[in-house]
């Protein structure tokens, strides 16, 4: 960025020590000036206020540097100045300095804004480039672990390679500062560091990821066997799991890294269940991305949020990134009426297309009618599956899953029940079983029979009745030949 004369580089991060180190390393021996609201003009190396220091306002600091005629190369690190960016004089100084940086070859000052909050006023947006500092990789995480072992005088022989391998995935996707805190907590809880700390770290990490407001770390107790029907989709996921679990060998062999799948289908038919069961099958964490929460107030904020979320996922890989209700996020793109949405969509698509990391994306949608065609095109996702309402065999399987889940050893025939539940989705079937069991519990004269289940089914307003219009639309949509049927794997046109 510096080489192409970027006037302002914006780094949104809160690990100032780490970013300062990166700045020092990149700008080795160059003149760096710091200003922050606490100590004013500050010595970048030792963090002590300089000269008049605290008395110098941001305005006078910038004014001095704007008037600089020395022609020498200088870097200004402005920390936590987001609250000052509403001030018209500050905005104007930043604008003038940016223009001077671009048009005056004698003026060689680059501004680096380092802030915990992203806020870029419209007036200077064109001169700002955003820079994201990557999360620590395995080497850096290992270095942090070593540091903690040394500081705590922990017996190194007690920390085995297997401990390290088990701990590593849980420490990925966090900043160095957060990893430090986790290791401190692990050490102080029982005076040791081992694979047993993984559970505590994951618990803390869950909170952290949630606090970021962009992603959620979801528990995945579900197994593939908890899904009734969808055999083609389940077989497909089992094949991919074999690849993901030995990714580096597969890659060396020439196998393409799985990108992910797009599951479109009727509501309550088990799409979310599939996302959860896949993560468990891949033995990888499940990160749920809420597109709605990406939208920010300031210029560049929404894109930055999406980039940040993707960066967390990449750092936490191998993982499954679940984008639920993707239609809600990107349906506006088709009309081209939102620049922000278009940019986010473009970024997401190119990331998906070029993705080299082991982030397996599962996007789910109830309604793909208004989705931009680019998303449905092959090459973005490995496959697009459509989930129809379950057929007879699938309804039987789903009933069996829910009987088993609730410890009902059912030996009676349920063929009439299967017929009765035509047009039901998985969630409807589950509710029939739940209602019948509740009835037996409350009224001890009742027994769990096919007749009782049929009664409950008759009382249920199934999906095909409550969402008739949506289902009809979906059926038309499924005529799209690029969709594969989750039940039998056939391309929809061949059905």
Site residues, ligand ATP (CB under 6 A): 227-230, 265, 267-273, 366, 398, 401, 426-427, 430
Task: Give 20 or 430: the residue with its C-beta nearer to ligand ATP.
Answer: 430
Smallest distance from the beta carbon of 445 to ligand ATP, in angstroms? 28
CB within 8 Å of 334: residues ≥ 6 apart: 370, 371, 372
Task: Give 201 or 277: the residue with its C-beta nearer to ligand ATP.
Answer: 277
Task: Give 123 or 369: the residue with its C-beta nearer to ligand ATP.
Answer: 369
Tell me the residue nearest to ligand ATP as measured from the CB.
426
Task: Give 7 or 268: the residue with its C-beta nearer to ligand ATP.
Answer: 268
Smallest distance from the beta carbon of 478 to ligand ATP, in angstroms? 15
Q: List the structure tokens of 394.
A: 């699938």
Q: How many CA atoms lie within 13 A of 300 on its CB side?
A: 19
Smallest distance from the beta carbon of 220 to ligand ATP, in angstroms? 12
Task: Give 210 or 406: the residue with its C-beta nearer to ligand ATP.
Answer: 406
Angle at the Cα of 271 (from 265 to 275), degrees rounded to 5? 145
Smallest distance from the beta carbon of 430 to ligand ATP, in angstroms? 4
CB 86 within 8 A of CB 80: no
Task: Give 82 or 271: the residue with its C-beta nearer to ligand ATP.
Answer: 271
CB 316 within 8 A of CB 307: no
Task: Give 136 or 426: the residue with its C-beta nearer to ligand ATP.
Answer: 426
Smallest distance from the beta carbon of 295 to ligand ATP, in angstroms? 21
Query: Which value, in Å, is the radius of gyration of the alpha carbons in the chain?
Result: 28
Task: Give 194 or 470: the residue with its C-beta nearer to ligand ATP.
Answer: 470
Task: Give 5-28 as a DSSP string.
Answer: T-SEEEEE-S-HHHHHHHHHHHTT
Smallest distance from the beta carbon of 233 to ligand ATP, in angstroms? 10
Smallest distance from the beta carbon of 237 to ligand ATP, in angstroms? 13
d(CA 222, CA 443): 31
Smallest distance from the beta carbon of 460 to ligand ATP, in angstroms? 13
d(CA 138, CA 172): 8
Neighbours of 30 (CB within 10 A): 14
Angle at the Cα of 127 (from 126 to 131), degrees rounded to 5? 105
CB 326 within 8 A of CB 364: yes
Using CB atoms within 10 Å of the CB of residue 438, give its burial: 0 to 12 exposed, 13 to 18 middle, 19+ buried. Answer: exposed
């Amino acid at each position: 960025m510096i080489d192409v004369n970027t006037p302002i580089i914006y780094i949104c991060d809160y690990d100032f020590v780490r970013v300062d180190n990166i700045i020092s390393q990149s700008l080795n021996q160059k003149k760096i000036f710091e200003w922050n609201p606490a100590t004013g003009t500050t010595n970048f190396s030792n963090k002590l206020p300089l000269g008049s220091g605290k008395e110098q306002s941001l305005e006078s600091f910038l004014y001095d540097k704007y008037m600089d005629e020395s022609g020498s190369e200088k870097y200004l690190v402005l920390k936590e100045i987001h609250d000052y960016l509403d001030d018209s004089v500050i905005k104007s100084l930043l604008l003038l300095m940016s223009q001077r940086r671009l048009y005056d070859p004698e003026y060689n000052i680059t501004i680096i804004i380092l802030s915990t909050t992203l806020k870029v006023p419209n007036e200077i947006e064109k001169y700002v480039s955003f820079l994201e500092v990557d999360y620590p990789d395995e080497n850096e995480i290992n270095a942090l672990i070593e540091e903690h072992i040394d500081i705590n005088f922990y017996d190194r022989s007690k920390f085995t390679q297997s401990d390290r391998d088990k701990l590593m995935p849980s420490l990925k996707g966090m900043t160095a500062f957060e990893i430090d805190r986790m290791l401190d907590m692990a050490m102080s809880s029982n005076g040791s560091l081992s694979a047993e700390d993984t559970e505590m770290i994951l618990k803390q990490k869950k909170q952290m990821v949630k606090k970021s407001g962009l992603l959620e770390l979801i528990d995945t107790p579900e197994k593939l066997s908890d899904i009734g029907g969808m055999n083609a989709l389940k077989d497909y996921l089992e094949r991919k799991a074999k690849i993901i679990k030995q990714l580096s060998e597969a890659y060396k062999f020439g196998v393409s890294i799985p990108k992910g799948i797009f599951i479109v289908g009727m509501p309550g038919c088990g799409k979310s269940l599939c996302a959860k069961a896949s993560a468990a099958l891949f033995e990888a964490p499940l990160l749920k991305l809420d597109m709605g929460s990406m939208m920010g107030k300031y210029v560049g904020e929404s894109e930055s949020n999406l980039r940040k979320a993707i960066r967390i996922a990449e750092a936490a890989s191998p993982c499954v990134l679940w984008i639920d209700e993707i239609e809600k996020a990107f349906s506006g793109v088709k009309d081209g009426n939102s620049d922000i949405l278009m940019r986010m969509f473009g970024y997401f698509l190119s990331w998906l297309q070029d993705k080299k990391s082991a982030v397996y994306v599962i996007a789910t949608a109830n309604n793909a009618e208004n989705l931009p065609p680019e998303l449905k095109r092959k090459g973005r996702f490995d496959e697009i599956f459509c989930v129809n309402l379950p057929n007879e065999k699938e309804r039987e399987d789903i009933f069996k899953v829910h009987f088993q889940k609730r410890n009902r050893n059912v030996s009676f025939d349920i063929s009439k029940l299967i017929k009765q539940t035509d047009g039901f989705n998985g969630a409807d079937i589950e509710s029939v079983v739940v209602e019948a069991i509740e009835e037996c519990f409350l009224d001890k004269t009742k027994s769990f029979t096919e007749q009782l289940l049929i009664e409950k089914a008759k009382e249920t307003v199934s999906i095909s009745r409550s969402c008739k219009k949506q289902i009809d639309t979906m059926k038309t949509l499924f005529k799209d030949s690029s969709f594969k049927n989750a039940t039998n794997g056939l391309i929809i046109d061949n059905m």
